[in-house]
Amino acid sequence: MNVSRGCLAGGVTGVLIAVVILGSALAQPPVHYVVTLPGPGGVGVAFVAEVGITFLLMSMIRIVTNTPRLARYTGLFAGALVATYITVEAPLSGMSMNPARTFASALPAQAGTALWVYFSAPLLGMLCAAELYVRRYGLQQVICAKLHHQNAKRCIFAQCGYPQPHPAQQEARTVRTSDKANAEHGSAI
């Protein structure tokens, strides 16, 4: 819950900083605070589109992160999917997938049009994707959702199925990194 509040606060702060820097230009059409609004098809189409894009994104993440040979490419798969959404789906719903981003733009613009769509549809899409994955593959096949395991950092997910680095590996990596940083700063002085 703290992460959600942090995302909301960070988004609103970012938009307010943009208002200070850009002034009234941010409020003028066609920018209008980059508010997320349903397309010409209306609220129903926007809701279905938002459920669909978040369902597909979460399904892709579940499949790719739980396929060890593909897991390290999850960010690339997600980036390609989001780029496709911006091109294809944005005219239908405004392309939110992120309630914090939508709220951050809507608050200073005082635009609450269909805000419920952008809070409920992404959650429904993600929940449906996760549930379908578990029903299709079984809970035992859920390895982890962390995007990058090829490092010496422990995973924060309690039920992670990837091998965790030994604490000595983590400590050794931290020492090597700080020694390297000290050497670089020392040679630059």
Q: 133 and 159: one domain? A: no
Q: 6 and 62: one domain? A: yes
Phi-psi region of 160 (alpha: psi -120 to 50; beta: other; left: phi over 0): beta
- pLDDT > 90 in the chain, percent: 46
How far apart are the C-alpha atoms of 145 and 155, rounded to whole Å? 10
Q: 93 and 127: one domain? A: yes
Q: Whole-prediction pTM value?
A: 0.77
Q: 128 and 41: one domain? A: yes
Q: 109 and 177: one domain? A: no
Q: 17 and 103: one domain? A: yes
Q: 34 and 66: one domain? A: yes
Q: 35 and 77: one domain? A: yes
Q: 114 and 176: one domain? A: no
The answer to whether 85 touches 13, Cβ cutoff 8 Å, is no
Measured CA distances, 189 to 12, 171, 184 (Å): 40, 27, 9
Q: 183 and 100: one domain? A: no
Phi-psi region of 34 (alpha: psi -120 to 50; beta: other; left: phi over 0): left
Q: Which amino acid is at 85?
A: Y
How far apart are the C-alpha atoms of 52 and 67, rounded to whole Å? 23
pLDDT at 184 over 90: no
Over residues 133-151, mean pLDDT: 83
Q: 105 and 171: one domain? A: no
How far apart are the C-alpha atoms of 32 and 115, rounded to whole Å? 16
- Of 40-49, 97-106, 163-172, give the lowest mean pLDDT range: 163-172
pLDDT tens digit sequence for 21-76:
998 899 888 888 889 999 999 999 999 999 999 999 999 999 998 888 998 899 99
pLDDT value for 180:
55
Count of the separate structural domains present in the chain: 2
Supply the range of the domain harboring residue 164: 151-189
pLDDT at 142 over 90: no
Q: 161 and 103: one domain? A: no
pLDDT value for 165:
75
